[in-house]
Amino acid sequence: MTYPAPEPAADSYGTAEGVAALASTWTRDREWFDDDPPYVEATNPSLTTVVRWIDQASSMLNIALENNGFTVPLQQARSIEAAAMLIEEIVSDRARFVNNKGRFFSDDAQHSKVSMLEAIAAEIDAWVLMYAPGLEANGEQRSGLSIKFGVRTHNDKGEATFPIFQRDAFGNKFIDWENE
């Protein structure tokens, strides 16, 4: 019995075919397969697992983008391709790992205090910071950082609040150089 092949979610980046191009050793003719006995034996990882990893890594990327003020999912073709390249590389690294190969299976990675998830999160965060100016210049919508800084002048009841810190509060002196 043949089932419809799973596809990445609409807000995900990359494809199973893109991952297969990077980790073809564990595919059959550059394709991932799910178990469908007695006709088809699953690849390691299976097609469903690869698609799930694409969705998970894409969700991490979308959250990192949102944390930096971007509207997700990305809309511009070049931005989507750049994101797909990142996600497909991460998922291909996971495919290597489940087959006891790759950077996450190296001696350094195995003895590191940084988990695979932490390494992937750090890689995604670094990618977002590095590509943010280009994504914005490419036309991606950015509303500004989601973390807002400001001064609270009124409490929840609408009453004016007294500033916690004021000039000269700690004995420091300020000189107005322009009006002296």
Query: How confident is the model over 33-78, as pLDDT tens digits?
Result: 998 887 788 999 999 999 999 999 999 999 999 999 999 999 999 9
Q: What is the mean pLDDT of the chain?
A: 88
Instruction: Place 149 in a pLDDT band, splitting at 50, 70 and 90.
Output: low
Mean pLDDT score, 144-153: 59
Q: Quickly list DSSP for the chain.
A: ---PPP---TT----HHHHHHHSGGGSSSS-----BTTTBPPPSS-HHHHHHHHHHHHHHHHHHHHHTTB-SS--SHHHHHHHHHHHHHHHHHHHHHHTT-SGGGSHHHHT-SS-HHHHHHHHHHHHHHHHHHHHHHTT--B---SS------B-TTS-B---SS-TTTTS-----SS--
Instruction: With cut-offs at 50, 70 and 90, classify the pLDDT of residue 91.
Output: very high
Domain positions in the chain are: 16-137
Instruction: Give the pLDDT confidence score for residue 1 in this predicted structure.
Output: 39
